[in-house]
């Protein structure tokens, strides 16, 4: 602590231009200020300040020491502020970005649950399927589906994004349930995702990692997962959609899983943030909350 006090006094002298000014701010005598500076110079074995009756000028060593002291004292202040803040109630504005369908159907209710537990936090959620510059655009957090390409970000792994097959009871009553083989899908109306590169084929993974490439056709396609879910609920066909997005519909009987042993190859999903982001109580608690829900 004596060393930090000396560094703080040295910085105060330089920032305020004189021993007298630093002494007045610190509420000590100029002699005590001089003692601090002398102690540092003795410890370092180098002169830090050229002192004359008119002005004080930093030596080359003094200039370097001043810059490093400013940085060190700033880090100490940040560490103490962060430790104090982490013990306080979460508050502030949280900005995060997530894919459209996942954000709309799954993330929004989860964030509202978090907000109900922490009412002093306001949330600004951006929904976009494009990859964003998290730091440059001012986002604290992002949900990323797929392999991480930005190595500068911290990625907390969440449950892999698994797409399953499902249809409404009405559709299955009218058209029958596909047999155990994925090839049976060729005889059914399949709901297409229009931005997929190969819209007429589904690449499915089955027991033991077996792969099947199945030709599909149908009468309805769209570029949004939420719209495909509504089409499935309306009995328009079989959807291949994320399990997270359909879980409530299946649990409550609005949809039924088809060929449950087969799914689209799962892809990684991560919660991403900048490694040097200040660990506020808000950021820490929302990360823990999302990892608990989706981890």
In the chain, alpha helices (H): 2-16, 19-26, 30-44, 60-86, 100-102, 108-117, 169-175, 225-233, 243-251, 281-294
Q: Once rounded to an integer, what is the mean pLDDT over residues 137-159?
A: 84
Q: What whole-number distance in Å separates Cα of residue 193 and Cα of residue 198?
A: 9
Determine the distance from the C-alpha atom of residue 79 to the mean position of all C-alpha atoms in its chain, rounded to a whole number: 22
pLDDT band for position 148 (50/70/90)? confident
pLDDT band for position 244 (50/70/90)? confident
pLDDT band for position 279 (50/70/90)? low
pLDDT band for position 130 (50/70/90)? confident
Structure tokens at 135: 């730091």
What confidence score (pLDDT) does residue 86 get?
Answer: 54
DSSP class of residue 238?
A: B
Mean pLDDT of the chain: 86
What confidence score (pLDDT) does residue 82 get?
Answer: 64
What confidence score (pLDDT) does residue 53 get?
Answer: 58
Residue 139 φ/ψ, nearest 5 degrees: -90, 135
Q: What whole-number distance in Å separates Cα of residue 96 and Cα of residue 92?
A: 13
Contact status, residue 97 vs residue 128, Cβ threshold 8 Å: yes
Q: Is 239 exposed, middle or buried (0-12, 13-18, 19+ CB in 10 A)?
A: buried
In the predicted structure, residue 156 carries a pLDDT above the cut 80: yes
pLDDT tens profile 98-107: 988 889 888 9
What confidence score (pLDDT) does residue 280 get?
Answer: 80
Q: What whole-number distance in Å separates Cα of residue 253 and Cα of residue 227?
A: 19
pLDDT tens profile 204-235: 999 888 998 888 888 898 888 888 999 999 99
Q: Once rounded to an integer, what is the mean pLDDT over residues 47-75?
A: 82
Structure tokens at 223: 């570029």
What percent of the chain has a predicted confidence (pLDDT) above 70? 90
Nearest to 143 by CA among 190, 185, 189, 111: 111
Tell me the helix, strand and coil percentages in the chain, rounded to 5: 45, 25, 30
In the predicted structure, residue 273 carries a pLDDT above the cut 70: yes
In the predicted structure, residue 276 carries a pLDDT above the cut 80: no
Q: Pick the residue with more confidence: 43 or 148?
A: 43
What confidence score (pLDDT) does residue 1 get?
Answer: 44
């Amino acid at each position: 602590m004596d060393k930090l006090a000396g560094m703080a006094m040295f910085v105060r002298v330089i920032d305020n231009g004189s021993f007298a000014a630093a002494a007045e701010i610190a509420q000590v005598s100029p002699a005590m200020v001089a003692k601090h500076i002398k102690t540092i110079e003795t410890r370092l074995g180098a002169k830090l300040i050229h002192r004359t009756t008119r002005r004080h000028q930093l030596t080359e060593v003094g200039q370097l020491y001043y810059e490093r002291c400013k940085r060190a004292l700033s880090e100490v202040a940040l560490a103490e502020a962060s430790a104090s803040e982490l013990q306080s109630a979460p508050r502030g504005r949280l900005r995060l970005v997530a894919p459209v369908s996942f954000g709309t159907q799954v993330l929004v209710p989860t964030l509202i649950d978090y907000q109900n537990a922490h009412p002093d936090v306001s949330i600004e959620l951006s929904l976009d399927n494009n990859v964003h510059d998290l730091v440059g655009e001012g986002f604290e957090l992002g949900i990323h589906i797929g392999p991480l390409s930005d190595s500068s970000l911290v990625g907390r792994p969440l449950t892999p994004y698994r797409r399953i097959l499902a249809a409404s009871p009405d559709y299955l009553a009218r058209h029958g349930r596909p047999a155990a083989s994925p090839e049976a899908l060729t005889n059914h109306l399949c709901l297409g995702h229009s931005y997929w590169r190969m819209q007429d084929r589904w690449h499915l993974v089955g027991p033991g990692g077996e792969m099947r490439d199945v030709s599909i056709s149908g009468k309805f396609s769209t570029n949004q997962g939420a719209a495909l879910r509504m089409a499935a609920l309306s009995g328009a066909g079989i959807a291949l959609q994320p399990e997270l997005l359909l879980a409530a519909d299946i649990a409550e009987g609005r949809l039924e899983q088809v060929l449950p042993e087969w799914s689209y190859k799962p892809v990684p999903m991560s919660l991403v943030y900048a490694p040097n982001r200040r660990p506020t109580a808000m950021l820490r608690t929302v990360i823990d909350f999302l990892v608990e829900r989706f981890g």
